[in-house]
Amino acid sequence: MTADRIRELARRSGFELAGVAAAVSAEDRSRYHEWVAAGRAGKMSYLTDRRAAVRDDPRNLLPSARSVICAGKLYQTPWPHSTRFDDTECAWISRYAWGDDYHDVMRSGLQRLEGLLREEADAPFESRICVDTAPLLERSYARLAGLGWIGRNTCLINQAQGSWFFLGELLVSLDIAPDAPPPDRCGTCMRCVEACPTAAIVPGQGLDATRCISYFTIELRGAIPEEHRAGMGAHVFGCDICQDVCPWNGRAPVTDDPAFAPRQFAPRLEELAAIGEEEFRTMFRGTPLLRSHYSGFLRNVAVAMGNARLEKFRAPLERLAASADAVVADHARWALEEQVPRGQYSS
């Protein structure tokens, strides 16, 4: 079995990128631990608890692993980037969350790949599928497998196809000659650093998740730090800015895979502010949006409405400010009292 043959099987399984890395300790594991120790992971306990040590080596997930097959699935669709979108009445949802939950899409693709490998392998082998719920430094292995380099924005970037990829791995007990990592092509570019509204990309140190809009809107429970709320703009789930401005995405291909077509492209903030919990679950069933929980989602909507500074949002914000949920009520009050003082609205 060769890496080229794996690429062919991966292509037949629906992946645009694939490569092979050796299943050995992650060479940048100490950097990861330093990042965690510096508090950059915020309250994301799945990055800081015992699973942090498991990430050091794929053999902690599959003791017999000899190779890591890394696969990338393109999810960019032909819809505008957030940096080209300025409808203040609408919410921005991160591109990766527009369609079906990528965990399911990636897992079924990796299962297909696993099946094809079993048909071709000379002997039985052990394997384990990893989508980002398994503790593995997946971008590090994807880089080693030749899929791309890790950009200053911390995304994996492929020279020809950009960074709009979901990553998944198949750990196998097969010995496969590994691919080689490509050079880092960020060079002197600082576009993502300069474009980040909350200064979350620290050159030389990576991402400070505790300043990142994606972290605030998806992972953080409770209050969003006040000093960062204005920088969130219209984002109610995730943030794409540092990928939107990356020059390597300028000519990135798009996919016509219906799994990633938007179910809700830039929904209207006023409608989102009025949905009940059951409606929230129905509207976003099968998408990553449920991860923010109803309370967190309404909190984010309140902040986005405050940032829009539209008079028409006063009434829905007043309703949210009366919510029994203290976090939602607090953020709606912030939007009303501090961000959009009466008389200073846009029309």
d(CA 115, CA 111): 6
**Smallest distance from the beta carbon of 285 to ligand SF4, in angstroms?**
25
Catalytic residue list contains 175: no
Secondary structure of 11-57 in HEC code, one letter for each residue:
HHCCCCEEEEEECCCCCCHHHHHHHHHCCCCCCCHHHHCCHHHHCCC
In angstroms, the first-to-last Cα distance of the chain is 64
Binding flag, residue 110, ligand SF4 (CB under 6 A): no
Is 214 near ligand SF4 (CB under 6 A)?
A: yes
> At its nearest, how many Å lie between ligand SF4 and the CB of residue 157?
6
Which of 3, 137, 201, 220 binds ligand SF4 (CB under 6 A)? It is 201
Q: Counting contacts by CB under 6 A, is residue 212 touching ligand SF4? A: yes
Q: Does 95 bind ligand SF4 (CB under 6 A)?
A: no
By the rule CB under 6 A, 152 interacts with ligand SF4? yes
What count of other Cβ atoms lies within 10 Å of the Cβ of residue 282?
10
Closest by CA to 139, choosing from 31, 34, 213, is 31
Q: Which of 9, 200, 305, 317 binds ligand SF4 (CB under 6 A)?
A: 200
Scan residues 164-193 and list those touching ligand SF4 (CB under 6 A): 186, 189-192
Sign of the four-CA dihedral 129, 134, 137, 142? positive
How many CB atoms are located within 10 Å of the residue 44 CB? 16
Q: In this chain, which of 56, 116, 132, 247 binds ligand SF4, going by CB under 6 A?
A: 247
Among 196, 236, 266, 298, binds ligand SF4 (CB under 6 A): 196
Q: Which among 1-9, 65-73, 237-245, 311-319 is the span making contact with ligand SF4, rule CB under 6 A?
A: 237-245
Q: Segment contacting ligand SF4 (CB under 6 A): 47-55, 72-80, 246-254, 334-342?
A: 246-254
Written as six digits, the tokens of 340 are: 């959009």
Position 1 contacts ligand SF4 (CB under 6 A): no
Closest approach, Cβ 189 to ligand SF4, in A, equals 3
239 binds ligand SF4 (CB under 6 A): yes
Give least dist CB 246 to ligand SF4, A: 3
Span near ligand SF4 by CB under 6 A; candidates 32-40, 83-91, 105-113, 207-215 = 207-215
Give the active site residues: 132
List residues binding ligand SF4 (CB under 6 A).
Answer: 151-153, 186, 189-192, 196, 198, 200-201, 207, 212-214, 239, 241-242, 245-248
